[in-house]
Every structure is written in C-alpha cells, then in structure tokens.
Amino acid sequence: MTTTAPTSASPPARHIWQRARGLLLAAALLAVAGVTLAALRSTEHTAPLDPRSASPDGSRALARLLTDRGVHTTVVTGSAALRRQTGPGTTLLVPFPDSLTERQRAAVRKAAEDSGRTVLLAPDARTASALTPGIRTFAGLPVQPTRPDCDLAAARRAGSADLGGHRYSTTDRLAESCYPRNGRATLLRLHSPSRGDTVLLGTTDPLRNEHFDHHGNASLALQLLGPHPQLLWYLPSDSGAAPSDDQARSFFDLLPGGWSWAAVQLAVAALLAALWRARRLGPLVTEQLPVAVPAAETTEGRSRLYRKANDRGHAADSLRTSCRARLALLAGVPRAQAHDREVLVPALASRPVHRASPEPGEPAYDEARIRSLLFGSPPPNDAALLHLADELDHLEELFAPSGPQQHRRRADKDITQ
C-alpha cells in the first residue's frame, strides 16, 4: 500500500508574498497618498465666494471682519437646514441665486419671509422675478468705482465702491436705489412691512478677497451683511445639479468629482500590470517526433520543479518508491506487493544483512526503522531530505549482496522489463 505525501499544488504563502509584495507596496503607497490628498483638500476651500476660502475669489477676509464685529457666519448647504436656522435675527446671503433649483428657490423664498435681511448677489432677470416679484432687470455693465448717489446710510458711509453688473428698477416708492449706472441702480433695497428687507447687488466684486480692500467695498459689504448677529451663507452643494439634503441621494452623488476618470486610470493601470506579468507565448516550434529525452535531463528537470515549488514530499516519495522497488527484488516480494508496507517491511526485517557488523553508533535496522524510512512522513526541510536519501542508500547497501551500484543497475533493468 503506497502512501503519498500530503502536498499542495498551489504555491506556498512565502512565494506568494515574494511575488505580490511589490504590487501590495505600490497599492499601499497609492492608498496613503489618496487619503493624504483627501485630508488636505478637505481642509482647503477654494470655491468662489466661500467664506472659508483665502483664494482671490473667496470671501475669507469678509468673514474674518464680520467675526471681529460679533457676527457669526454659518455656511448652510441644505434647504432643510436653511429653513430651520432662519429667524428675525439672521441675515441670509445667497451668492449664486441663478444656479438654484426650483426646490432651492422655494426654500430661499420661505427663508426670506422669516429672516431679518436677505441679500441676493447678481440675480438675472429670471431669478429676480422669481424671488422678488415686480423687479425689472437690465443688461449688465462693466464693474468700476461708482458713487452711491442715494440716501441709504450704509451707502453714504461706504462712499464709492466697485459696482456694476446687473441693474435693477422697481415701481415701489419705498425702495432705495443706489450706485446708479446709466440711470439704473446696481444696489436696490426693498422694504416689506411684514418681513425683513431684501437687497439686490448687481455684482459680487465687493465681497471677493481680491477686491475687498478697494475703495469702499469693505465698508459696504460689512454694513450690508452685519446688521444681525447671525449670517447664513447659503452655498448649496453642487447648485443646480445635486438634490438638497432632504432628498434621497444615490451612492454616486456622494462620490467626489472626477471619480470616473480615476476609475478609468486604475483600469488602464491594471491592464498594463496584467500585460507586464502575463506569460509570453513565443512562436510555435516544430521538431521531429519521437523526441528522445535523456534520463539525466528528465531527472534534473523534475528536481528543479520540486525545488522551485518546495515540494519535498513528492521528492521523498520518488526516492522511497524507487528504493522499495529495488529492495522488493532482494526480499523476494512480488512486484505487485512491492509498495505494501504490511508485506515489504516484515520481509526486509526478517532478512539478514550482508555486512558483518554495524559501524559504531549506528542504530539497528529493525522493523520500525525500516517502516519509517520507506513509508515515513515527508521531510520538513532540505537537510532532512538529504539525510533521507543517504539513509535509503545505506539501507540498500545492507541488503545488496553485490554492492549497491551493481545491484541498482540490475534492479532498474528488472523493474523496467
């Protein structure tokens, strides 16, 4: 009965680690770089008119001065939060009213009814009529220093400011028209008996960092946005495209912009890595058949395969199988039972050895030791495999009457017949 050593056809964990550690290291570096960049970008705000942004288009300078004057600025990104936080003691600023969706416009109209003041920056004709009915909008003009020419206290104190852009007019006699250009106001203040006032500003330049210190821009912006202790800065996420926070959002809405290009780049990188690691198949080679392969080359090829796979179990099985076949001839065991341990081992143990006395310190070759050598467990390392090969050669020397080499050649011939 033959016992096959328990070996695995898959490569060992050590070889898998050696092959994959380069790719794993590269993936880890990419992941760390991505997390680092995301963390850095999460603290950097470069959006236009963002009170947290220090870029030329941002409004951080205005937000800092408002904070110094006791005005708390809160960035609001959702319609529900806007309605929840609006009150008589708040000023509502809408920097990009033209990009609002219908739902967001409805939220702004509702919030304007409850807020102490609402400031709309550069609304066009469609947006102005939707948010402030009765307003006429005229074509925009270049922004330039403009005198107030009105009785509005904030405008008189600020003096000349960088105004222009859209121009507005109304039939409301209580409205205050300031900074006129070609007879039309670029700053229009509307009064309401039941709610706070509404201010329409034709351009966003007075609030931007790059223009904030020009002329009377800082004074005008501070007075328009600082009459109440709370300023709600309405910057809805992805205005005009994404739903508000009280709507259902899909998984793709939560992904940052440009993720599709990143996915394409990763796919290309994976394809290139697969081409790099794939097996190269060369041209077909024709050769005459049958092909004679020398036994030494076959033995060496198999041994290299065993060595590459660390498959000491199959290597030991090959040595033991050949040794059992040769010893079975010496013990008179039939070829069919040469690999049956219950037949071969007792036959060898009862056969006298052909050496007068063992060497000093040499253990006796009893039935237990013969069974361990011919049917034992796989060797745990290369040294144990070499020791097993030496022990098998020594075992054949003990039972071969004419010397191991002559017996081996004769036995191999008998086995192949």
Taking residue 212's Cβ as centre, other Cβ atoms within 10 Å add up to 21
**So what's the pLDDT on residue 229?**
92
* Residues in the chain with pLDDT values less than 70: 1-12, 38-46, 238-258, 280, 289, 291, 353-364, 401-417
**So what's the pLDDT on residue 249?**
52
**So what's the pLDDT on residue 10?**
55
C-alpha closest to that of 132 among 79, 186, 188: 188
Contact 100, 239 (CB under 8 A): yes
Q: How far apart are the first and last CA of the chain?
A: 22
Distance CA 212, CA 218 (A): 5
**So what's the pLDDT on residue 402?**
58
Per-residue b/e over 354-374, b at no fewer than 16 CB within 10 Å? eeeeeeeeeeebeeebbbebb
Distance CA 409, CA 262 (A): 67
pLDDT per residue over 298-357, tens digit each? 778 878 888 888 888 888 888 898 888 888 888 888 888 888 888 888 888 887 765 544
For 214, residues 6+ apart whose C-beta sits below 8 A from its C-beta are: 145, 162
Residue 217 three-state SS? helix
**Residues of CATH 3.40.50.880 domain(s) within the chain?**
60-240
**So what's the pLDDT on residue 158?**
92
**So what's the pLDDT on residue 3?**
47
Q: Please say whether the dihedral angle defined by the alpha carbons of residues 56, 60, 61 and 66, taken in this order, is positive or negative.
A: positive
For 404, residues 6+ apart whose C-beta sits below 8 A from its C-beta are: 393, 396, 397
pLDDT per residue over 32-85, tens digit each? 877 777 666 555 556 788 888 888 888 889 999 999 999 999 999 888 888 888
Burial of 60 (0-12, 13-18, 19+ CB in 10 A): middle
Cut 0.75: pTM above it:
no
Strands 230-234 and 90-94: parallel
What percent of the chain is modeled with pLDDT above 90?
A: 24
CATH, domain 60-240, list 3.30.70.360, 3.40.50.880, 3.40.1350.10, 3.40.30.10: 3.40.50.880
